[in-house]
Structure formats: C-alpha cells, structure tokens
Amino acid sequence: MKRASARFLAIFGLLLLPTVLAGADEKKSGQAAPGAAVGKLAWLAGNWRMEKAGRVVDEQWMAPAAGVMLGMSRTVAKSKVIGHEFVQIREGPGGDLYYIARPSGQKEAAFRILALTDNEIVFENKEHDFPQKITYTLQADGSLLAAIEGTGKDGQIRRVEFAYRRVQ
C-alpha cells in the first residue's frame, strides 16, 4: 500500500510540475496571464445595431473569458435574413490575438492583430480576398464604428463602415 501511495505521489508530482514551472516562468518573464489581451476588449461586449437603407445589422459580443470573445451578426432586409456571421477573437500561437470569421456562404478566415489601444483594435490578413483589414473603434459618444477594408475584385481599395449604437 505504501508503494502505491508513493507511486501516486510521484506521478502526481510529475503531472503538476509543468504547471508549477509555467507559473514560475510567467512570473519571472513578466508575461501577461492568458486572456489578458482579450480582457482589454471588454468595451466591445454587448449588443450593437445599425439601421441603414432598409437593412438592420445586429452584432453581439460575449464578454471576454478564458482568452476568447465570441460574437455573431445578422443582417435583415425586407423581413428576411440576408446574411449572418459567427466570429471569435482569441489568442493564437505566441499569444497574438486573432479575429476568426465564418460568414454565411463562405469559408472561415483568420485575421491577426495589427494594433490594440484602449478603444480600438485592428486585425489584418493580407492574403484574404476581401476584406484584408477589420477595425473596431469605440467612439467618444459610446457608439461603435466597425470597418472592413481592402482591395476589391476590381483592384480598387474599398472601405465599408458599420456605425453601430448600443442596444439592450
């Protein structure tokens, strides 16, 4: 019985050792804990709406948790859903943030963080067809300006803006 207990403690110690060492390395290096960068995006969480030209675009973001924010959007025109998108902002390799989008009728695309401030985040994927850049900016009045931009099929640079207001 003592032998089994000693073996259990040895195995448990070996399993626990990487966790303890990772915590010690993190403290030594001064690196942020997982999820810290995503936590800076708490201002994005909530329900947002834009109404323009007979279309209603709703975008919802869950609060940051465990290094991830989940979101979705829906575009309605003439009482029909004409588009939707499922999105994530999550930490990827090396701790960088990625915006991962799965729009209706399209394959998933990932955009790497380009810039992050207290009220703006910019993602970019130069290899993607359109858009190549995605930006979210919290405005001084509490509204949200989202934008997608890049080179269109015609070779021209284009930018599409979504001027959202917070809704309940």
Q: Which domains occur in the chain, in start order?
A: 1-31 (no CATH), 36-167 (2.40.128.20)
Contacts of 132 (CB under 8 A, 6+ apart): 124, 125, 126, 149, 150, 151
pLDDT of 146 > 70? The answer is: yes
pTM for the full predicted model: 0.79
pLDDT for 116: 95
Name all contacts of 91-94 with Cβ < 8 Å and 24+ positions apart.
91/34, 91/35, 91/37, 91/38, 91/67
For the cut 70, the answer to whether the pLDDT of residue 20 exceeds it is no
Long-range contacts of 115-118 (CB under 8 A, 24+ apart): 116/37, 116/40, 118/40, 118/43
- Mean of per-residue pLDDT scores for the chain: 84
